[in-house]
Structure 1
Amino acid sequence: MAKVQLANVAVLDNPSPFLNPFQFEVTFECIEELKEDLEWKMIYVGSAESEEFDQILDTIYVGPIPEGRHMFVFQADPPDVSRIPVNDALGVTVVLLTCSYRGNEFVRVGYFINNEYTDPELRENPPTQPQFDKVQRNILGDKPRVTRFKINWDDGTGSTTNGAQDSMEEQTMGDSAQEASSSKLGFSENTQNSMEVM
C-alpha cells in the first residue's frame, strides 16, 4: 500500500495572466514516517508534438515527513516563452504535478490549460508573434487526471523507474471536450480501472 495518499490539489489564482506564477495548494496524507524526502515537480507541456518542449518549472523536496496530514503551496514561475513553439502558444495544453520517492514516481496529476487572449480583437486577429502579456491562462481545476504508480516504499530495489507501468491506475478527466487532447498528459494507454475523484 502507498505510504503517501494525495488528498487534494487546489488551483490558486485561476484564471490569471499567463506570466503570473503557477500556484497549487497540495494536501497529502502520510500513513507512516518517511525518512527520505518527497520530490515534487511541476512540468509545463509546451507542445503535444514533442517532449523536447516540456519545461520543468520547479522541483522541490519535502521531508522528512512525519505521519499525518500535510499541506503546502507549490508555486513556480511561468514557462520560458522563448521555448514554446509559436503554433502551440495559444489554445489547450497541460501542466503536470508529479511526486517521487527515492527516484520513483508514484503519483502524477495533470490539468488541461486554455491559453487565450482576453481582448476580443486579438482573439479574432491574433498577431504572428504571441503577445504573452495579453494572454490569460485558465487551468481546468475541476477536471484533474490522476495517475498512481505502485512503487517499493521500503527500499530502492525492485522498483521500476518512473513507477511500475504494469501496476498503474488512472482516473480520467471526466466528460471533457478536450479529451481528444489527452495524449498531452503523457499517460500510458495501458490503464486499468478508474479511480475515485480526489
Structure 2
Amino acid sequence: MDTRLAKQARQLNIRNGGPNCPIPPIVLMTDDQRLPDPRPAITGLPRRSMVIFRHYGLSALDRAKLAYDVRPLCRKHGHLCLIANDLALALKLDADGVHFPEYRIQKTPHIFGQVPDGMLVTSACHSIKTLRRLSMLAPWQLPNGVLISPVFPTQSHPGQPGMSFQLFLQCAALCQSIGLAPIALGGIKTNNVENLQRSAVASLAGIGFSAK
C-alpha cells in the first residue's frame, strides 16, 4: 500500500478518532470482482489495519472456505477481521466483528441488537437518512463505525459521481456527533485524500488503494 496514503490515514485517525478509536486508520474491503484473491493485499497492509471480508459473489461454500483462510491471515499480520452480512459465519470464525450493508438498518434493524458484546460492528451508509436511522438505535446497538460512500467517483460504480462533498462532510460530522467513527470509502487516492483533511473522517477504506 502507498505509504503516503497510509500516513494521511494515520493522521486523520489520531486527530478525529482519538486514542480510543475502535476503527484502525486503514480498512480494506474485499471484492470478488476487483480483488478476487485478497490475501496478497492483506499481507501488504500496514500493521493493525482492518479487513472487511465481503466476496458476496461466491457460493456460500466457497465464501466460507476463503474466509477461513482470511481470518488467520489477518490475525498473523495484526489486522482486525470483520465478516460482511453473516453474523453466523463471523461467530464460527471467531472474527473480530461484523459489517452490515445499508439495507440492514432499513429492513432488519433488529440485527444490530443480535451482535454479541465485544464484537465490532460497522454499517454502510449512502445517505444522511441512513445515519438518522442508525442514530435511533439503542446506545448498546449502535455500530462502532460507519462507512460513508461514495466519497469520490469509484471503479465500483463507473460513470457515477460521488456524493456531493458538502453532504459527505455533513454525514461525517453527524457520525462523530453521535459517537460513530466516520470511515470514508470510494475512489480515495493520494491525489484527493487532502480534500478530507477538514472533515471529521477517522479512517480510510478502499478495495484497491491507488497512488494516483
Q: TM-score with structure 1 length normalisation?
A: 0.24
- The structure with the greater share of residues assigned to helix is 2
- The structure with the greater share of residues assigned to strand is 1
Q: TM-score with structure 2 length normalisation?
A: 0.23
Rg larger in 1 or in 2? 1
